[in-house]
Amino acid sequence: MKLAGITTRTAVALGLFAMISGVLNGQAPAGGGGRGGGRGGGMFGPLFGLFDADKDGSMTAVEMKATLDRWYSEWDTAKSGALKQEDVLRGLNAVLAVAMPQAQGNGMNTFNPTGNFTTLAATQSEVDAMVAALPTTPGAKPARPRKVLVMAHTGAGGFVHASIPLAAKMVEVLGNQGNLWSTTVSYDPKDITTENLKQYDMIFLDSTTACFLDDKDPAVSAARRAAFLDFVRGGKGIAGVHAATDSYHSDCVGAYTAAQRGGGGMASTIATAMANGMMAQGDGDNDHTLSRAEFAVVAAAWFDKLDTAKTGKVALADFNAGFPGMISMPQGRGAGGRGAAGGRGGGEPAAVLQWPEFNTLIGGYFKFHWSDPQLISVKIDDAKSPLTTMFHGQGFDIRDETYTFAQESFSRKNVHVLTSIDYGKMSAEDKAKESNPRTDGDYALSYIRREGKGRVFYEGHGHSARVYAMTPMLEHFRAGIQYALGDLKADDSPSQK
């Protein structure tokens, strides 16, 4: 099957996003040697080389700490002993400009001051696998012709998921099957206006990380947010997948500032993610600066996460596999620097809720994820719901990047849970990968809720392309979208009264 074009309001150039996503997953661009496995392999090979001081093909904790300590000395030009995030970002941009010249000025528009990506495309094999898995059962009959707007824009400083174009294609194909709805895909937040939204029945939030509706002009941001809320509260629908919950729990203004100072190119994207991660993990006293000791905390935390086998050494392949996911974390500050047991480090990054209405609407905000391809057991919380009938009341296993929510952001008093992680089946080792786990052990994956007169559906899985090749998951997405459209009735009362 040929890759059918997706209707867009912005030009979508085919082929380049595969290169971008490969970069973020440790792969070289086409013709560059594929996944890094040897010296210098992959986009992160040169960065790994900065840490591998003795060039023996592996990195130790001492080497990582020494590299970060040297960077601190070079970046602390005022000898203040307190680096601000802008100092860290400036230093990282300088380091990566030298270490990763192939990622500078690459013309891919991968990171601009508004965080807008316009070079997204699903691969033919991904689309073919999804089409082969399409449901054979019919969807609910629409009450009238429906129109869906897929919002695929990623906010400044947000992590861009390779699955964004595939999820958009899924919405289009599912809608076309049985003429359930028509689909328009947009990578431009300017489409969120009161007037433009009148033609649509639902907005699908396609892994919209960070502050995806915001503009440099606060008045523009306020108008878009108001249009969005009025849309759903007036009786229409919102559906979200995966990183839709990784939105609006960070410093929106700061993200724009960092992006504008970061310049362009993939190296700038990586530098911004690294700076965000350093501040989130290192700022233990929450003073928005990093001391040399706090920098050492970052080095120790990063090495510990990369050294999954606990051998005291990290090879390039392990660095390539672990580093991208490690730095794609919330843009908050350290939450007091206290772990669950009261020790230093390990605390949740504090959220900067500049649009709390959105966080309530979408059901929660991202704190941590088990990295793809972590095996997760899914349980069915409401087997009677028409949104879960495709699972026949039986739990199932899935491999994907699985999100968890900050403790204070998610509650069953706010949503009607459809599926969740069968947390009791997780090994102690896998549970230990998450710092500050939820005290209630409640890890929802999909749910629905009312927002005013409108409806909201969210599914947390959808990071990996393999999720879109699972027929029951496609049926689940279709049912969720039809619920949000108003064509599939379901009990959406909160799971906990």
Q: Give SS3 for 375.
A: strand
Residues 287 and 202 in one domain: no
In 258-389, at which residue ranges do the beta strands (DSSP E only) sit? 289-290, 314-315, 333-334, 349-350, 366-370, 375-380
- Cis, bond preceding 373 (omega within 30 deg of 0): yes
| Number of domains making up the chain | 2
Distance from C-alpha of 434 to C-alpha of 404, rounded to nearest angstrom: 9
344 DSSP assignment: B
Residue 56 included in any domain: yes
CA distances from 127 to 165, 170, 209 (A): 10, 8, 23
The pLDDT score that the predictor gives to residue 338 is: 25
How far is the C-alpha of 338 from the C-alpha of 340, rounded, in Å?
7
Helix spans in 100-150 (H): 124-132
CA-based diameter of the chain, in Å? Answer: 68
- Classify residue 2 as exposed, middle or buried by CB count within 10 Å of its CB (0-12, 13-18, 19+): exposed
pLDDT value of residue 260? 54
Residue 257 lies in a domain: no
- The answer on 471 and 360 residing in a single domain is yes
Residues 243 and 387 in one domain: yes
> How many Å from the N-terminal Cα to the C-terminal Cα in the chain?
48
Q: What is the pLDDT of residue 112?
A: 28
Within a domain: residue 254?
no
For residue 198, what is the DSSP state? T
DSSP 32: S
Token readout for 154 is 């990623």
| C-beta of residue 40 within 8 angstroms of C-beta of residue 46 | yes
Which domain-ending residue is among 302, 332, 350?
A: 350
Residue 435: give its domain's CATH number: 3.40.50.880
343 vs 192: CA distance, rounded Å: 44
Question: Same structural domain for residues 141 and 201?
Answer: yes
**Four-CA torsion 394, 398, 402, 404, nearest 10 degrees:** 20
Task: Indicate the pTM of the whole model.
Answer: 0.66
Burial of 246 (0-12, 13-18, 19+ CB in 10 A): buried
CB neighbourhood size of 419 (10 A)? 26
Task: Determine the residue type at 128.
Answer: D
How deeply is 218 buried, as exposed, middle or buried, from its count of CB atoms within 10 A (0-12, 13-18, 19+)? Answer: exposed
Residues 307, 420, single domain; the answer is no
- Considering the domain architecture, whether residues 375 and 481 belong to the same structural domain is answered as yes
382 falls within a domain: yes
Using alpha carbons, list the distances in angstroms from residue 133 to 118, 128, 147: 28, 9, 23
Going by the DSSP 8-state scheme, the letter that residue 31 receives in this structure is: T
Is the same domain home to 217 and 241? yes
Within 132-284, strands assigned E span: 147-151, 182-186, 202-206, 237-241
Say if 494 falls within a structural domain. Answer: no
Contacts of 178 (CB under 8 A, 6+ apart): 138, 139
Same-domain check for residues 67 and 140: no
14 phi, psi to nearest 5 deg: -75, 145
What is the distance between the alpha carbons of residues 185 and 333, in angstroms, rounded to a whole number?
34
DSSP 450-480: EETTEEEEEES--SSGGGGG-HHHHHHHHHH
Q: Render each residue's pLDDT in the chain as its tens digit; 497 residues.
A: 333 333 333 333 323 333 333 333 333 333 333 323 333 345 577 888 889 888 898 999 999 999 999 999 999 988 999 998 778 888 887 787 677 654 433 322 233 233 344 445 788 899 999 999 999 999 999 999 999 999 999 887 677 788 999 999 999 999 999 999 999 999 999 999 999 999 999 999 999 988 999 988 889 999 999 999 999 999 999 999 999 999 998 777 666 655 555 444 566 667 777 887 788 788 888 788 899 999 999 999 889 989 988 999 999 888 887 887 666 533 332 222 222 222 223 344 456 778 999 999 999 999 888 888 889 999 999 999 999 999 999 999 999 999 999 989 999 999 999 999 999 999 999 998 888 899 999 999 999 999 999 999 999 999 999 999 999 999 999 999 999 999 999 999 999 98
The pLDDT of residue 286:
77
Closest CA to 479 of 137, 164, 131: 137
Q: Residue 458 forms beta bridges with which residues?
A: 240, 447
Alpha carbon of residue 136 to chain centroid: 30
User: Would you give the DSSP letter of residue 53?
Assistant: T
Same domain, 402 and 365: yes
**Does 497 map to a domain?**
no
**Which residue, of 309, 325, 350, is where some domain finishes?**
350
Interior/surface letters 123-158, b for 16+ CB within 10 angstroms, e for the rest: beebbebbbebbbeeebbebeeebebbbbbbbbbbb
Burial of 217 by CB count in 10 Å (0-12 exposed, 13-18 middle, 19+ buried)?
Answer: exposed
Distance CA 282, CA 68 (A): 12
Q: Which two tokens stand for residue 438?
A: 């939820």
Structural domain of 277 = 16-109+263-350
242 and 389 belong to one structural domain = yes
> Does residue 118 belong to any structural domain of this protein?
no
pLDDT of the residue at 492: 97
Quick one: 77 and 95 in the same domain?
Answer: yes
* Tokens of residue 97, six digits: 């400009």
Q: In the prediction, which pLDDT does 497 show?
A: 84
Burial pattern 379-405, b for ≥16 Cβ within 10 A else e, equals bbbbeebebbbbbeeeebebebbbbbb
User: Residue 346 has what pLDDT?
Assistant: 35
Clarify whether residues 358 and 229 are in a common domain. Answer: yes
Question: Do the domain assignments include residue 291?
Answer: yes
The residue type of 4 is A
Sequence-ordered list of residues with C-beta below 8 angstroms from that of 310, at least 6 positions apart, any chain: none
- End-of-domain residue from the set 327, 350, 373: 350
